[in-house]
Structure 1
Amino acid sequence: MCGILGLLLHDASVHAAPEICEGLSLLQHRGQDACGVITCGTKGRFYQCKANGMVRDIFDANSISRLLGGMGVGHVRYPTAGSFNNAEAQPFYVNSPYGIVFAHNGNLINTESLMQFMDQTAHRHINTASDSELLLNIFAYNLQQTGKFRINEEDIFTAIGGMMHQVKGAYACVAMLAGFGIIAFRDPNGIRPVGFATRKAGAGLDYIVASESVVADAGGFTDWQDVNPGEAIIITRNGISRRQIAGPSTFAPDIFEFVYFARPDSVIDGISVYRSRMAMGDALADKVQAVLQEANITVDVVIPVPDTSRVAALNLAQKLQVPYREGFIKNRYVGRTFIMPGQQMRKKNVRRKLNAMALEFADKNVLIVDDSIVRGTTSKEIIQMAKDVGAKKVIVASCAPPIRYPNVYGIDMPSRKELVAYGRDTDEIAAEIGADLVIFQTLPDLVNSVRQLQPSIESFDCSVFTGEYVTGGVDEEYLQHLETLRADNNRAKAMTMSLGALEGKGGGDANGLSEQQKADQANSSALPNGTDATVGLHNSWNTQA
C-alpha cells in the first residue's frame, strides 16, 4: 500500500521538489518504510534523493534544495513480500531507452514468468526483488521495441498496452520520461487508486498525479479525476492526453482502502472515504444491537481505536444512543502499527502508541470499535489495556468482516497463519484476543456502505474476506510461494536489524535519522548534483545495494 505522486509545473524554472515532499507527507499513512523523490531539470537531467525512513527525516532543506527541475515523481514505500532493503526504495530508474523514472503502488502475481521473460527474451537485468523494478523494465522494454530515437504519445500508449497484456495483478503507476512529461496508468481492474488534478498557473496549468485526492486539495488543485481502470494518461506542458488501453474487465477497487488505508478526507473513485465510514458505523450499529440483545448485554460506553475507526464509532454510538468517549490517547509520534514490518515490532509499539484512561473504562461494559481485526496483535493488547484499568466487560466491534485470506495485491498480510480469523469462528477469535464478545460487520453490509455512494461500481475486491481474487491466477501453489517469500524476507530483515544493533547502528540522532539512514542519504547525494539521464545513471543506484 504505497503512495505515489507526480508533479509537472507549467513554469519549468520553478522547482517541483518542495511541493512533492509536502505531498508525500500527506501520503505518509500509506507507507512508513522508505521514501524517495526524483526530479527532472533542464537538458533532461535527473536529481534524486531516496532512503529508508519517514519523509520528515529524509527530506530536509538541504536535500530538497538539490532536487532541481519543474517536474518530478515521489514515492512512500510500504514493504510487501520480498521487499525490505534500502536498494528497493522508489522511485526506480532505467537509462534505456530515453531515461525513465517509475513509482508503483500494488503487487504483481506473475512475477516468476515475467522474470524469465526479462532474462531470456528482453535481456534486461533486474537488480532487486521488487516487482516495481520489474514492471518498470517491462514498460521500458516495450518502449524500446519502437526502435525510435524520438518517441511520441502514440508510442507510449502502445508500450503501456503491451505491458498491460503481459502483467497480472494490481498496479497504479506514475512515470516520468526525461525531458518529456509525466505518465500515469492503472491496472484493468482498478484495484489500487490513482487520480489527477489541475491548477491554474499563469497562462497554463500545473498538473498533479497522486494516490489520494487529499494531496490535490492541499496544493490548491481542482477538478480531481480518477484514472480509469486500464486507462493511461500522458501529461506534458502542452496538455494532457487520455486513452483507454485495456479492454473491458471487472472494475473492483480494493474495499480495504475505505475500511483502513485511505485518509478520511480523500475521495476515491467518486466515493468519500469519510462518508463510507459513517455508513459502516450505521450498518454496524444494527448488527451490534441485535447481538447484544441476544447475549443480554448492555454497554455503558463506545470507545474507538484511534484514528481510522473514529468516524464509524461516532455514528454507531449515536444510533445506539450510547455515550461516545475517547478512552485511548494516542502518541502521534508512533507510526501505524499495522504497516510496521514484523509481529514483534507491531506488538511492542501498541502500548507506546496508545494509553488507556481509567476514567472511561473503570467498572464499565465497554464497546471498543475498530476498523478491522487482522493479526489480532493490536486488538489483544488493547483489550488487555482496557481490563488493566478496570473495564468489567470488553466487547469488540469490527467495521470489517473476519479477514481469513491473504491479500496478494499489495497489502502485507500474505501469511494465513498470521490472520487471527484463519481457521477460527467468532467465539474462538474472541477467546484468542481476550474479548468477552466480538461482533463483525457482515460483508453485504460493508459492500453496501461503500457502494451506496457510487452505485455505478458493481463490485469491490473483497478477497481478504472471501478468498476470491478478481485477477485470477491465485492458487494454493502461489499462496505457498508468497508465504515462503515473506518468511525469508522477515528472517533477512531480523538478521540485518540484529547486526545493526550489535554494530551500534540501530539508534537515531536528535534529528531522528539512524546511521543507516545517513548512509543512505550519502549514497543518494551523488545524483542531486545532476546526472544526464542518457548516460547509465543506474550505476549510482547500485551503490545503495
Structure 2
Amino acid sequence: MSDAIKHECGIALLRLKKPLEFYKEKYGSAFYGVQKMYLLMEKQHNRGQDGAGLASIKLDIEPGNRYISRIRSNQAQPIKDVFDQINNRINQELENNPEYIDDVAAQKANIPYVGEVFLGHVRYGTFGKNSIENVHPFLRQNNWKHRNLIVAGNFNMTNVQELFNSLVDLGQHPKQLADTVTVMEKIGHFLDKEVTHIYKDLKQEGFSKKDASPEIEKRLDIHTILEKASRKWDGGYAMAGLLGHGDAFVMRDPAGIRPTYFYEDDEVVVVASERPVIQTVFNVPFEAVQELEPGNAIVIKKDNSVIIKEVRTPVIKKACSFERIYFSRGSDAEIYQERKMLGKLVFPQVLEAINYETDNSVFSYIPNTAETSFFGMTEAAQDFLNQRKTKSILDAGASITEEELNAILKVKIRTEKIAIKDAKLRTFITEDSSRDDLVAHVYDVTYGVVKPEDHLVIIDDSIVRGTTLKQSIIRMMDRLNPKHIVVVSSAPQIRYPDCYGIDMARLDGFIAFQAALELLKDRGIYQETIDAVYKKSKAQENLPDTDVVNFVKEVYAPFADKEISAKIAEMLTPKNTGAKVSIIYQTVEDLHKACPKNLGDWYFTGDYPTPGGNRVVNKAFINFYEGNNARAY
C-alpha cells in the first residue's frame, strides 16, 4: 500500500501441556516457551510496530513466589527490546547461579518468564497515544490467583462510551476511557461475580477458605464469564486472556471481523492472528491449523482440557477483506492465491484502458506488497496474449511460414521492476514546497525500459488517500516519458471509515470521498446534498444503534464507479504531467470472487457488520461537515 496507514494488532497465546522438564529433554531448553513466543511475535511484526508486550504464568507455584511476569515496550523495535530484556535477565540469573543450568525446577522457581502459559501482543495504535500505558497485555491484579486477569487483543469497540458508562453504573471507577480498559474491567467484573458465586457454594459444602481456592479454579466457567461480559460489545475483536492460576482463553467476535487461528497437539496449544505463523513456528501443515469460528471462544483450562464453545450468537460472517488484500502475511496459501486472483480479475479493465495494446505496454507494481497481485495480473495478460497468438496462427492456416510463426511466438508481455523505494531517504523538511520535492524522490526509477509509445501499468494493493501517488509515484513514472500511466488498485474504492481496528477514521482523508464532493460541485448539487446528509445524520444521533441508517451513501449515489475513478485520476495528476493518467479500481463483485471467505467490505460499500458502524460513519460525516477533527468513535 503506497499510502501508509496503521492497522490491526497481533496476538499470540501459547500453552505448554507438558512439564518443563519434557521440553528440556526433547528440545534442549526449558526456555522453549519463550523461544516460541519470540517467533510467534516476530512473524507477526507486520501487524504492529508501535509496541509489544509479553506476559507469562508459572503453574503451581508456592505462595510467596512470583508466578506472573509481564514486560512491555514502545521502543523503536519493541519486539526486539522485549526479548533482549528477557534474555538478559535469564542470562544474568544463569551466570549468577550456574547451578540452575541443568535444574529445571530451580529455573522455574527463580527465573522470570520460565513458565507454561504465555500471552504476547504486537500493537498498532489506532486510538490513544503511543505511551507504555497503552501497550498490551493489560493486567488486573488481585491477591487471589484466580482473580488475576491479563488481557490483550486485536480489536476496536465502536461503543466505548457506553461500555465505560456501564462500569460507572456498577460503581466502578475506570482509570481511563479506553476500550482495552473497559473490556478488561467488564470481564473482571463477571470473573469476580463467578468466583463469589462458586465460593458461596463451596462454603455450604464445607470447604475451608484455603481449600476453596483450588476448587474455584476447577469450577470456573470461562465461557459463561465471556458470554456475560460481551453482551454489549459492538466491534471487531479477537480477545485473549490469562487467569493467574493458569486458565487461558481467546474469543472471536460474532461476525468474524478479526482473524483467529489455533493449533493443538499433545505438547502445545497455540492461538495466533495468522495461520502461516503457526505453520512456520511449529512446522505443521496448512490443514492442521484451524480457524476459530465467529462468536466462539477457545478455553484452555489449567488441567490441559481444551473447550471450544459459542459464547455469542454468530451473525453473517464479515471477515475483514483487507486482511486478504494487504494486512496478513502473503505466505498463507489461501491468501497468496486470493491476491493473485485480485490481479487477474482486474485485468479486463486494464485491457480496456490500454485499448488492448499489450505489445505497447509495460507492467509493474508499487509497493513490494503488491507483487502477488502483479503476478496474477501478468498471468491474465499472458493468457490474453496466448489467445491472440493462437488465433493468429489458426487464421494463417497451413500457409504460415516459419518466419511468420516465429514473429508471432516472439511477442511477450513486458514486465519490469520500474520503481525501487529508497528506504534511507527521509522527508525531514516541513516547509511544503521543499518537502514535496523530497517526497517526489522517495522512489528511484529504472530508466530505458519504457518507450514513448508505451502504456505504463502499475498495480498497487489499494489507494486510500492518494497522497503518495500525486506527490511521488505519478511524477516519477512521468519521467520515463510513457504516453499513458495506468494506476491499478487491487482493492475497490475506499469510501467509508473503519471502526474495527484500522486507522481510517476520517472521511475527508479518502480520495474517493473528495472526488465525490468534486463531482457534486460539477453537477451543482454539492451544498444541497451535503446539507441533506448532515441533517439526516444529525437527526439520528440519539437513536439506538440498531435504528441508525448510513446516510453517507447518498454522497456517492449519483455517480457510477468509473465516474469517481476518472475524477480521482484528474485530482491526483500533478501539474505539467506529460502522460495521460488513468486510475482503475477493483470492483466489489470481483473482490468477493477473489476472497469468498472474507466478505467484510464496509470500507467500500458502507455495509457495516455491526450496528455501531452506521453510527460511526454518520458521526464521521458530522465531524467533516462541522470542521471537527475529532475521531468518530
TM normalised by structure 2 equals 0.68
User: How many Å apart are 1:358 and its aligned residue?
Assistant: 2.2
Correspondence 1:137 to 2:199: no
2:126 matched residue in structure 1: 80
In the TM superposition, what are the counterparts of 1:5-404 in structure 2 within 5 Å? 5-13=12-20, 14-15=30-31, 16-42=33-59, 43=61, 45-52=67-74, 53-66=76-89, 67-68=112-113, 69-96=115-142, 98-121=147-170, 123-127=172-176, 129-146=177-194, 147=196, 148=198, 149=213, 150-152=216-218, 155-199=221-265, 204-220=266-282, 222=284, 223-236=288-301, 238-266=304-332, 272-293=334-355, 299-321=360-382, 322-330=413-421, 354-361=443-450, 363=452, 364-380=454-470, 381-404=472-495
Q: Per-residue CA shift, 1:295-327, capped at 9, x if unaligned? A: x89752111113221111112112213322222
CA separation in 1, counterparts of 2:628 and 2:80?
Answer: 27
Question: How far did 1:240 drift?
Answer: 1.0
Q: Look up the match of 2:565.
A: 426
Output the CA distance in 2 between the equivalents of 1:383 and 1:12: 59
Structure 1 residue 234: Cα displacement? 0.9
Pair 1:41–1:486, CA change in 2 (3 A): farther
More helix by share: 2
Distance 1:57 1:10, change over 3 A: same
Q: 2: distance between equivalents of 1:485 and 1:205?
A: 56
Q: Considering only aligned residues, what root-mean-square deviation do their CA atoms show, in Å?
A: 3.1
Name the CA shift for 1:277/1:334 in 2 (closer, same or farther; >3 Å): farther
Q: Judging changes above 3 Å, is the alpha-carbon distance between structure 1 residues 72 and 396 closer, same or farther for their aligned structure 2 residues?
A: same
Separation of aligned partners in 2, 1:314 and 1:161: 44
1:328-370: per-residue Cα shift (whole Å, max 9, x none)? 22467899x9xxxxx99x9999778643222445644310001
Instruction: Tell me if the contact between 1:82 and 1:485 (Cα under 8 Å) persists in the aligned partners.
Output: no
What CA distance in whole angstroms lies between the structure 2 residues aligned with 1:9 and 1:486? Answer: 50
**Does the 8 Å contact 1:83/1:130 carry over to 2?**
no
Whole-angstrom distance in 2 between the partners of 1:205 and 1:299: 58
Q: Structure 1 residue 253: deviation in Å?
A: 0.3
CA offsets per residue over residues 414-467 of structure 1, 9 Å max, x none? 10101111141112211222270001111101111111xxxxx5x711110011
Counterpart CA distance in 2 for 1:374 and 1:319 is 25
Q: CA deviation at 1:130?
A: 3.3
CA distance in structure 2 between the aligned counterparts of 1:85 and 1:487, rounded to whole angstroms = 22
Q: What letter corresponds to residue 143 of structure 1 in structure 2?
A: L
Whether the 8 Å contact between 1:174 and 1:209 is mirrored in structure 2 is: no
Shift of 1:40: 1.5
- For residues 347 and 3 of structure 1, what CA distance do their matches in structure 2 show? 34
Asked which structure has the greater CA Rg, the reply is 2
> In structure 2, what is the Cα distance between the partners aligned to 1:87 and 1:196?
28
**Cα distance in 2 between the residues matched to 1:24 and 1:114:** 30
Cα drift, residue 480 of structure 1: 5.6
1:440 aligns with 2:575: no
Q: What residue is the counterpart of 2:606 in the other structure?
A: 467
What displacement does 1:11 show? 3.7
Task: Write the distance in 2 (CA, Å) between the matches of 1:289 and 1:428.
Answer: 20
**In the alignment, structure 1 residue 409 sits paired with structure 2 residue 500:** yes
Distance 1:388 1:379 in 2: 14
2:251–2:297 CA contact under 8 A, matched in 1: yes
Q: 1:187-222: per-residue Cα shift (whole Å, max 9, x none)?
A: 0010000111134xxxx3211110001221121253
Q: In 2, Cα distance between the equivalents of 1:349 and 1:107?
A: 35
SS in 2 for 1:421: helix
Is the Cα contact below 8 Å between 1:314 and 1:324 reproduced in 2? no
What secondary structure is seen at the aligned counterpart in 2 of 1:106? strand
Q: Which secondary structure state, in structure 2, belongs to the residue aligned with residue 117 of structure 1?
A: helix
Measured in 2, the distance between the counterparts of 1:460 and 1:172 equals: 18
Q: Is the 8 A contact 1:18 1:64 kept in 2?
A: no
Contact 2:117–2:246 (Cα < 8 Å) also in 1: no
Q: Which amino acid aligns with 1:184?
A: V
Structure 2: gaps of 5 or more residues: 1-7, 21-29, 90-111, 199-212, 383-412, 516-563, 574-579
Cα deviation, 1:253-281, whole Å, max 9, x if unaligned, reads 011111111111126xxxx1101111111
Relative distance call for 1:382 and 1:486 in structure 2 (3 A) is: farther
Q: Partner letter of residue 412 of structure 1?
A: D
1:450 maps to 2:595: yes
Q: Deviations over 1:154-176 (max 9, x none)?
A: 52110110122121110012211
Q: 1:356 & 1:65 partners in 2: Cα distance?
A: 44
Asked if 2 retains the 8 angstrom alpha-carbon contact of 1:195 and 1:224, the reply is yes
Counterpart CA distance in 2 for 1:350 and 1:172 is 37
Question: Hey, which of these two has a bigger chunk of strand by percent?
Answer: 1
In structure 2, distance between residues paired with 1:298 and 1:417: 39
For 1:173 and 1:91, locate their aligned partners in 2 and report how far apart those are by CA, in whole Å.
Answer: 11
Distance 1:419 1:179, change over 3 A: same
User: CA separation of 1:478/1:287 partners in 2, compared to 1, >3 Å: closer, same or farther?
Assistant: same
**In structure 2, how many angstroms separate the alpha carbons of the residues matched to 1:349 and 1:165?**
51
* 1:479 maps to 2:620: yes
Which one scores higher on RCO, CA 8 angstroms, separation ≥ 6? 1
Conservation of the 8 A alpha-carbon contact between 2:507 and 2:621: no
2:150 and 2:191 mapped to 1: Cα distance? 13
Question: Which amino acid in structure 2 is aligned with residue 468 of structure 1?
Answer: D
The runs of 5 or more residues in structure 1 that have no matched partner are 338-342, 452-456, 490-545
**Residues 126, 134 of structure 1: 8 Å contact kept:** no
Cα distance change on mapping 1:216 and 1:357 into 2, 3 Å: same
Structure 1 position 32, deviation (Å): 1.5
Partners in 2 of 1:469 and 1:274 — Cα distance?
26
- Cα deviation digits, residues 105-124 of structure 1 (max 9, x gap): 12101111111111221514
| Distance change in 2, residues 1:355/1:177 (3 Å) | farther
Aligned-pair identity in percent equals 25
Change (3 A) 1:26 1:171: same
> Structure 2: which amino acid aligns with 1:79?
G
Tell me if the contact between 1:305 and 1:328 (Cα under 8 Å) persists in the aligned partners.
yes
